[in-house]
Amino acid sequence: MDKMLYNFLKNTVLISATVFSLFSCKSKPKDKTADAPYTIPDSLLKTIDFDTAKMIQRMDAVTLTGMVDYNQDNVVRIYPQVSGNISNMRVMLGDYVKAGQVLGTIRSSDVADLNSSLINAQANLSLAKKSLDAAKSLFKSGLSSQTDLATAENNYQQAQSELNRVEQVLKINAVGGKTGDVSIIKAPISGFVVEKFVSNNTFIRSDNSNPLFTISDLKNVWVMANVYESSIQDVRKGDKAEVTTLAYPDRVFNGTISEVMNVLDPNSKVLKIKIVLPNTDYKLKPQMFTTVSVIQNEGGEALAIPSKSLVFDNSQYYVLIYKGKNDIKITPVSVGTTVGGYTYIKSGVQPGDVVIATQALLLYQELNG
């Protein structure tokens, strides 16, 4: 019995020792090697732009709100010349039209009356011509007086004048002297249909205060910005201006203030300024909201970096200073104003530091991952 107890205790101790040894081996800490620094892949490196922190002329900006508008010097509003029903509408809002293109037609009793007047004027002229020829023949034969001849000539001139008048009215109404009751609406200039107030079968009056169409050439547009009284002293004609939109937040449209109005808007109580911008790619649309920065020269120089190189995280701005593809440093910076795509730096970088200007957010996330 004692021998059996001895063997049981012996085996128990051996098993416990073995288990302890196994757990000791598993829980033994491994030697850790230092993490390798992050290296920018070559494929990503090709897409990155770099810039240098440098001293530039110190500028300031007054930020205003505004809106894109038509160039009012190159916009045409088409009003009806006659009353009638709109038919054969051929264009939609936003369509591009060429000068002389037919936009629609108006079936009008006014046009029918004008064509009737044309026929009467042509008949009267023919009759006046015959009377004049007869008067000339009688005068040569001594059978009529000079007064009779002068009267015939005067009647002929009046008939000719009336025919010319009717033809001009028909031409204005794009009827072209043809019989019928249709007036043709044509585009007087090339451009975009930016307003359209009619549709097929709409009855319109010639005294209507609303245009049928508004056509504008949008190759250049106006930006009308709002200047509050406290900022009036900070804007002047000729100042440089940078315009951004919600639709294209990364694109800056550069222009100058071409006009400063001399009166406040009676409704909004702001002073309006006008900036004329080229718009050859038609990115700027009328009624777009804009942010306008009026640039001012403060004199002197200050350290600045491209604004797109900044990363904002946890209420702090950072830049990525580049020294090599595996040597990138995330540096907190204190920033000043932003003007012309550059942000002035108060502290955090030194002149000559190379910063990552594109893909900065992606690399920031990689380095913090």
Structure-derived torsion over alpha carbons of residues 191, 192, 193, 194, reported in degrees to the nearest 10: -120
pLDDT of 1? 47
Reported confidence tier of residue 82, pLDDT bands at 50, 70, 90: confident
Find out whether 309 and 355 touch, Cβ atoms under 8 Å: yes
Dist CA 141 CA 119 (whole Å): 33
The answer, yes or no, to whether residue 48 has pLDDT greater than 80, is yes
Q: What is the CATH number of domain 66-72+220-299?
A: 2.40.30.170
- Cα distances (angstroms) measured from residue 102 to each of 40, 88, 109, 182: 60, 10, 20, 13
The answer, yes or no, to whether residue 18 has pLDDT greater than 60, is no
Give the tokens for residue 50.
């770099």
Residue extents of the structural domains in the chain: 50-62+300-368, 66-72+220-299, 74-106+186-217, 109-180
The answer, yes or no, to whether residue 15 has pLDDT greater than 70, is no
Reported confidence tier of residue 176, pLDDT bands at 50, 70, 90: very low
Dist CA 214 CA 185 (whole Å): 12
CB count, 10 Å around CB of 301? 11
pLDDT of 33? 38
Dist CA 44 CA 34 (whole Å): 25
Share above pLDDT 90 across residues of the chain, in percent, rounded to a whole number? 44
What secondary structure does DSSP assign to 295-357, as a single string? Answer: EEEEEEEEEEEEGGG-EEETTEEEEEEEEETTEEEEEEEEEEEEETTEEEEEES--TT-EEE-
- Cα distances (angstroms) measured from residue 8 to each of 11, 14, 17, 278, 359: 5, 10, 14, 99, 70
Mean pLDDT of 54-65: 88
Find out whether 310 and 317 touch, Cβ atoms under 8 Å: yes
pLDDT digits (tens, 9 = 90+) for 313-345: 999 999 999 998 889 999 999 998 888 788 999
Q: Quickly tell me which residue has 């440089």 as its tokens.
A: 240
The answer, yes or no, to whether residue 77 has pLDDT greater than 80, is yes
pLDDT digits (tens, 9 = 90+) for 232-251: 998 999 999 999 999 998 89
Give the helix ranges, DSSP H, for 87-198: 109-141, 146-172
Residues 6+ apart with CB under 8 A from 72: 222
At residue 80, the 3 state secondary structure works out as coil
Reported confidence tier of residue 299, pLDDT bands at 50, 70, 90: confident
Dist CA 131 CA 328 (whole Å): 103
Q: How far is CA 293 from the centre of its chain?
A: 16
Reported confidence tier of residue 174, pLDDT bands at 50, 70, 90: low
Identify the residue with better confidence: 105 or 369: 105
- Cα distances (angstroms) measured from residue 244 to each of 76, 225, 292, 321: 27, 12, 7, 28
Find out whether 194 and 216 touch, Cβ atoms under 8 Å: yes
Dist CA 145 CA 151 (whole Å): 10
Q: What is the CATH number of domain 109-180?
A: 1.10.287
CATH classification of 74-106+186-217, choosing from 3.40.50.1220, 3.30.1360.80, 2.40.50.100, 3.10.20.30?
Answer: 2.40.50.100
Q: Quickly tell me which residue has 């081996």 as its tokens.
A: 25
pLDDT of 228? 93
Give the tokens for residue 184.
């043709």
Lowest mean pLDDT among 126-140, 185-199, 246-260, 280-294: 126-140
Share above pLDDT 70 across residues of the chain, in percent, rounded to a whole number? 88
CB count, 10 Å around CB of 332? 11
Q: Which fold has domain 50-62+300-368?
A: 2.40.420
pLDDT digits (tens, 9 = 90+) for 96-122: 999 999 999 888 877 777 778 888 888
